[in-house]
Structure formats: structure tokens, C-alpha cells
Homo-oligomer: A and B are copies of this chain.
Amino acid sequence: MARKAGSHADITGPAIREVAQRLFAHSGYAAVSMRQIAAEVGVGVGALYLYTPDKQTLLFDLMRDHMSALLDAWEATDKGETPEAQLQAFVSFHIDFHIDRPDAVFLAYMELRNLTPENFAVIEALRRQYEDHLQDILTLGQEAGAFHVEDARVITMALIAMLAGIHVWYRDGGRLSRDRIQTLYLELVRRTVSP
């Protein structure tokens, strides 16, 4: 046997990435073998290497694409004018974006140490860009007298950690609706920086 009927690059490529993301998120990069990915996709091992030069690049591409999509989506978001509106926009955006991509979020937070140093630096820079968007909102709001911000960097990290923690307990169809979560966390964030 060799090439199967109905096989196409524009199907296999995305399929490999989807399967890899799911398996990496569930079991961890090091615990997932290329043969497992291939089997789940329904191809032989060799086929994977038509779509990625190696396993490390497969992981890196997944993480980089997630971070790029995150930054692009925030760029495209309507942010409002006042610091209060911008902070609210950031929190709503963050929750919405992340709650729909649990596997990608898991990867981006948990597999950093499995990146080569060069790849890690790239992802870390993207993550820092995202954090800086929030930090800028806080700093400008502080200068405008809209927020009380004792240490912008610390509060940025505290708020991001708080929001990132949602993925630990959130389950689709659980006790709390997405709207309810948005409301609760918006209030928490508002309290954290209110003057």
C-alpha cells in the first residue's frame, strides 16, 4: 500500500496539527510519539514529515500560531476610549478568546520548557507583547487617575494569572455560563484597580 484514495495535502496538514494539539495538550509533548499522532490522523509515520521538518517544529508552530492569533485578535478588537472601557474590553476579550481554545491555551502555558531556547525566546516575546497591552492600559489609567495601580507589572501578572486560572476549572455546560463568568471576573478586576 502507498498513497490512499482521496488523500489531499490541504486535509492531512491541518488534521496533523489538530491531532498534535489535542494529544500534546492532553498527555504532554514528551509523552506523545509521532507514531501516535500518525495513527490518530490515519496515516503512516513518514507522512508527518511531509508537513513538518520535525516534532519540535510541530510544537513550536502550534504555539506561535496561537500567540499570533491572540495578538491579531486583540488588535482587531474594539477597545473603547476610557481606561475603564479598555480594561473591560481586555478582560472580556481574554475570557472569550481563551475559553474557546482550551487545548491551545494549555499548550501555550504548559509546554514552554519543551521548546528549544531559540523557539522559547520567540514565544516568550509574543507572550510579553500580550502582557504589555494590559500593562499599558493599567499605566495609562493610573496616570489619568482612573485606576489605583501600586505596581503595574505585578498587577498585570496578577490579573493575567487570575484570568488564566479559569481554564483550570471551567467546563463547557458547567455550573456557570460564559456570561456569568465574564460578569464575575470583570467585577474582580474592577475592584483590584479601583481608586
Q: Which of under 10, 10 to 19, 20 to 34, or 35 or more describes the interface residues of A?
A: 20 to 34
A121, CB-defined interface residue at 8 Å: no
Beta-carbon contact of A184 and B150 below 8 Å: yes
A53 to chain B, nearest CB (A): 20
- Copies in the assembly, this chain: 2
Interchain CB contact (< 8 A) of A158 among B26, B30, B165, B176: B165
A28, CB-defined interface residue at 8 Å: yes
Closest to A160 in B: B165
A55 to chain B, nearest CB (A): 12
Beta-carbon contact of A187 and B150 below 8 Å: yes
A161, CB-defined interface residue at 8 Å: yes
List chain B residues, Cβ under 8 A from A168.
157, 161
Closest to A175 in B: B153
Beta-carbon contact of B162 and A158 below 8 Å: yes
Q: Which residues of chain A from 154 to 195 have any CB-CB distance to chain B below 8 Å in the complex?
A: 154-155, 157-162, 164-166, 168-169, 176, 181, 184-185, 187-188, 191-192, 194
Closest to A26 in B: B113
Beta-carbon contact of B165 and A161 below 8 Å: yes
With A28-B114, A31-B114, A160-B165 already in contact, 5 other A-B pairs whose C-beta atoms are closer than 8 Å: A28-B28, A28-B30, A30-B30, A158-B185, A191-B192
